[in-house]
Amino acid sequence: MTTTISILQRAAATGEIRFGTGNSSLGSILIAKSDRGVCAILLGDDAKTLARELQGRFPQSRLIGDDAGLADLLAQVAVFVEAPARGLDLPLDPQGTAFQQRVWQALREIPAGETASYADIAGRIGSPNAARAVAQACAANPVAVAIPCHRVVRNDGSLSGYRWGVERKRALLDREAA
């Protein structure tokens, strides 16, 4: 089964990927979609930098930028960033290992407004000694906010690193708590 998953992941990673960029109160947003679903949601300060990050993530893929067909998806993500209580339900196609997929599924089960620790997630997926590996899977999350890695905190409840910046993590958690 692992071989099948990696073959599927390679196939998705070498196809055509359409992407578009927009802005939110958290900065620039890039959303990318394969033929199976959203494969990347990136946050940052500059759309060009996000596009380079996307190319680095999918070096074998043909990237098609400024896709007007993604305007609705971009709008959904921007609305979710501002008002997370509205929820976000997108067809997802995140590329990752079997372990990362298990972590990402567990993250999607954390309700908005709540947090869990890396150790909690490790326990939920049946790998209680894998808190560091859970943190690495969070850092590898390709779809910001849709897979809510921002809801994972240290055991003491304090914020730790966030791929898109701790200030963005704090802003997302504050909005969800409101």
pLDDT tens-digit map of 82-139: 888 788 889 999 999 999 999 999 999 999 989 999 999 999 999 999 999 999 999 9
Instruction: Tokens for 147, please give them.
Output: 């897979």
By the 8 A CB rule, do 145 and 176 touch? Answer: no
Percent of the chain topping pLDDT 90? 67
**Catalytic site residue from 116, 147, 149, 152:** 149
CA distance linking residue 80 with residue 120, whole number of Å: 25
Mean pLDDT of 147-159: 91
- Told to judge if 149 belongs to the known catalytic residues of this protein, a careful annotator would answer yes
CATH class of 98-177: mainly alpha
Domain covering 2-86 in this structure, CATH number: 3.30.160.70
- Domains of the chain, residue spans: 2-86, 98-177
Is 9 in a helix, a strand, or coil? helix
Q: Has residue 51 got a pLDDT over 50?
A: yes
pTM for the whole structure: 0.86
By the 8 A CB rule, do 15 and 35 touch? Answer: yes
Helix (H), strand (E) at residue 17:
strand 16-24
Find all residues with CB under 8 Å of 148, minimum gap 6, and list them. 107, 108, 110, 112, 172
